[in-house]
Structure 1
Amino acid sequence: MIDKQSPVPIYYQLEQYMKEKIEKGEWQPGEMIPSERELAETYHISRMTVRQAVNNLVNDGYLIRRRGKGTFVAAEKIEQPLKGLTSFSEDMRARGMEPDTIVLGFETVPASGKLAEWLAVKEGDALYEIRRLRLADGSPMALETLYIPVHLVLGLTRDVVSGSVYEFIEKEKGMIIGSAVQTLEASVARKLEAEHLQVKEGAPVLLLERRTYLDDGRPLEVVKSVYRGDRYKFIVEMERRK
């Protein structure tokens, strides 16, 4: 498997071999891989070479280290196409996963600054501020904060926001959600985000901001979400202009 006469670096050969075992399912998500010592002895290479291969796979999201326990195959990332406007609950169910929500905060706050501008309300108007931890099959996936004008969606309660807000708006309030503008950027987990998402402080995360509109053009919500970088990836389909 390791060809020491090959011009291809040994660490890269081992890295590709391990990646292949993961992609073929020979090493399952959550399974602990052999230790650096065991891999070095098995393939008659140095532990430094093994460490370089393992580090690269950790950085690429294939493996995850757990202090005092070992190195494990990372859970498969959930793919989210960046087209079509769907809720978190709809996304998870479409992938055969069970969505769940922990409501961390539900209150009304006065609109100010950019929020008032984006939601087309006057400064001081009441907004729902909803902070939620979103889970899939019991695993934390995203931490989100959303703002919705109170006058637009009367009757929103803590019980309602523990499920799908979009479902309530469309089925119970009879509104049609039309479109959204969304931005996505890389970031790192701050202390509170890391605690809720069960990652290390400073771990890579995806920061998403979305402004959603009803079909008549009225602003519905502003959402700021922090997604685990090791569990989520977004896919963009593009066509070259002719």
Structure 2
Amino acid sequence: MVYKNIVNLLKMKINSPVYNIGDLLPSEKELAELYHVSRNTLRKALKHLEDIGLIERKYGSGTWIRNKHFQSSLTHLDSFTEIALNEGKKPTSQLLKFELQAASEEIANGLQLQNGDPVHYAKRLRFIDNIAVQLEETWLSATRFPDLTISHMRKSKFSYIENDCGVKIDGCYESIMPTKPSPELAHLLLVSPNDPIIKMYTQAIDDNHQPIDYSILYTNTFEFQVKYYIPRHRN
């Protein structure tokens, strides 16, 4: 639907550094012209944003930014749970699948295992303040982490690795690319199949530079935005 596309475009604008809470949005006429839609379509999109608490409309005064969806700035590696809690938000996870698999070539390479070695596979839908923002698929060696359970994966994976297993997470390699969601993924993240999302491959490593996990993350950037600060190396 056209109005849903306008909703997502307005979300991106509202959640960008361009606006702060309390700022006034352009008029309905200006927004309708900007996005080349009718006033009725625009009003439907604004009504949706008002219903979810992002904006407040006052007759005769205009439309104001009431809230912004999740944003965080990172200068070091934090887990999803830590990122949310640091911003005063409530993180939760819905475990969609947890099973033992034989490592494919891709997973074996990511974990430095042999093809066919046993690995734990978990598929989790991640929420911030009850809004679905990310789907995670993750693999860990079943030999290295034999006691990993459903209970662990419903909480913080990093907490299990560091606190329960005593493994120090030294850092994480990340590869990021834009993509479009499959119909299943669009349904889970409440986006259109034509909306761009971020696909990220990650490989966490320990202090001996050995892989800990290999993950693929799909992030709804309309709801979840993270800014990275990368310091410049100087001799």
Q: TM-score range by the shorter chain?
A: 0.7 to 0.9
The equivalent position to 1:184 in structure 2, one of 161, 167, 176, is 176
Query: How far is the alpha carbon of 1:188 from its aligned partner?
Result: 1.9
> What runs of 5+ residues in structure 2 fail to find an aligned partner?
1-12, 55-66
The answer to whether the Cα contact below 8 Å between 2:169 and 2:205 also exists between their aligned partners in 1 is yes
Query: How far is the alpha carbon of 1:208 from its aligned partner?
Result: 1.3
What amino acid maps onto 1:230 in structure 2?
A: F
Matching of residue 98 in structure 1 with residue 90 in structure 2:
yes
Matching of residue 115 in structure 1 with residue 107 in structure 2:
yes
Cα distance in 2 between the residues matched to 1:118 and 1:241: 27
Matching of residue 23 in structure 1 with residue 4 in structure 2:
no
Matching of residue 203 in structure 1 with residue 195 in structure 2:
yes
The answer to whether the Cα contact below 8 Å between 1:190 and 1:202 also exists between their aligned partners in 2 is no
Name the structure 1 match of 2:8.
none
The answer to whether the Cα contact below 8 Å between 1:204 and 1:230 also exists between their aligned partners in 2 is no
Q: TM-score, normalised by structure 1?
A: 0.72
In 2 relative to 1, CA 65–179 (structure 1 residues): closer, same or farther, beyond 3 Å?
farther
C-alpha RMSD over aligned residues: 3.1
SS of structure 1 residue aligned to 2:115: coil
The equivalent position to 1:150 in structure 2, one of 128, 142, 155, is 142
Q: TM-score, normalised by structure 2?
A: 0.74
In 2 relative to 1, CA 116–96 (structure 1 residues): closer, same or farther, beyond 3 Å?
same
In 2 relative to 1, CA 130–236 (structure 1 residues): closer, same or farther, beyond 3 Å?
same
Name the structure 2 match of 1:8.
none
In 2 relative to 1, CA 217–232 (structure 1 residues): closer, same or farther, beyond 3 Å?
same
The answer to whether the Cα contact below 8 Å between 2:75 and 2:230 also exists between their aligned partners in 1 is no
Name the structure 1 match of 2:63.
none
- Which structure has the greater CA radius of gyration? 1
> What runs of 5+ residues in structure 1 fail to find an aligned partner?
1-15, 28-32, 41-48, 57-63
Matching of residue 51 in structure 1 with residue 28 in structure 2:
no
The answer to whether the Cα contact below 8 Å between 1:116 and 1:122 also exists between their aligned partners in 2 is yes
What amino acid maps onto 1:237 in structure 2?
A: Y
SS of structure 2 residue aligned to 1:23: coil
What amino acid maps onto 1:23 in structure 2?
A: N
Cα distance in 1 between the residues matched to 2:83 and 2:138: 18
Name the structure 2 match of 1:3.
none
Name the structure 1 match of 2:58.
none
Aligned-pair identity in percent equals 19
The answer to whether the Cα contact below 8 Å between 2:21 and 2:68 also exists between their aligned partners in 1 is no
What amino acid maps onto 1:72 in structure 2?
A: L
**Equivalent residues in 2 for 1:118-137 (5 A)?**
118-137=110-129
Cα distance in 2 between the residues matched to 1:229 and 1:149: 30
The equivalent position to 1:159 in structure 2, one of 136, 151, 164, is 151
Matching of residue 72 in structure 1 with residue 72 in structure 2:
no
Deviations 1:101-152 (A, max 9, x none): 0000000110121211221111110011100000011111100100100011
Cα distance in 2 between the residues matched to 1:164 and 1:78: 19
How many residues get paired?
201
Query: How far is the alpha carbon of 1:65 from its aligned partner?
Result: 6.8
SS of structure 2 residue aligned to 1:72: helix
**Equivalent residues in 2 for 1:163-174 (5 A)?**
163-174=155-166
In 2 relative to 1, CA 70–218 (structure 1 residues): closer, same or farther, beyond 3 Å?
same
The answer to whether the Cα contact below 8 Å between 1:178 and 1:213 also exists between their aligned partners in 2 is yes
